Structure 1
């Protein structure tokens, strides 16, 4: 069995606040790490459907303004949790986009039944 997977690392100026913000998208904290008190935080978050992100306060780990595409089973439910009222219906997905506290763009979409 192959259990390989990829995880996007996003820049966060306040990883704890960012992890809280991501709760609206269905993420919960999986772990947190700090080499010693006063050092930057590195926090892992995940959704029940196995999507994972890492939020890093370390300056060299990631660039600001990154785009992550998050596929979800029900984009309307996630949009409501984020306070989004306008969802775009595209041929490839029904989707919306939000920015996290650090300006990283999170595009959330559901693939239409006809394309699955």
Structure 2
């Protein structure tokens, strides 16, 4: 299960929930003032987002398999939430869409070639 480091504040919701379309499955805090840890999902992809120092390192990359990365790219290009000009890369093993998050991580959505 990939754990992605995020920071406190509304930016993780804006990027992961509003822009990428993930939903929150569950959230946990040991106390109200302590860091948030949660699970999000979309179309069979499950990620853990953590505000805890030491759970993960900002600047990480994670590869996520999707059924149709070209359709995902078109959906994200029309979003006004993040005006990213994300390009689709064709590789011999499949098509990829690398998206930087606001915390220095990169999510690489890919559809393998048959």
Measure, in 2, the Cα distance between the counterparts of 1:101 and 1:14: 12
Instruction: Report how far residue 111 of structure 1 moved.
Output: 1.2
TM-score by length of 2: 0.82
Measure, in 2, the Cα distance between the counterparts of 1:57 and 1:26: 20
Would the alpha carbon gap of residues 16 and 55 (structure 1) be closer, same or farther in structure 2, given more than 3 Å must change? farther
Would the alpha carbon gap of residues 31 and 47 (structure 1) be closer, same or farther in structure 2, given more than 3 Å must change? same
Residue of structure 2 equivalent to 1:25: 20
TM-score by length of 1: 0.81
Please give the secondary structure, in 2, of the residue aligned with 1:82: helix
How many corresponding residue pairs?
Answer: 106
Structure label with greater radius of gyration: 1
Structure with greater strand share of residues: 2
Measure, in 2, the Cα distance between the counterparts of 1:41 and 1:87: 32
Measure, in 2, the Cα distance between the counterparts of 1:91 and 1:15: 39
Query: Can you give the 5+ residue segments of structure 2 that lack an aligned partner in the other structure?
Result: 78-84
Deviations 1:40-72 (A, max 9, x none): 1111101232x2111111101111111100110
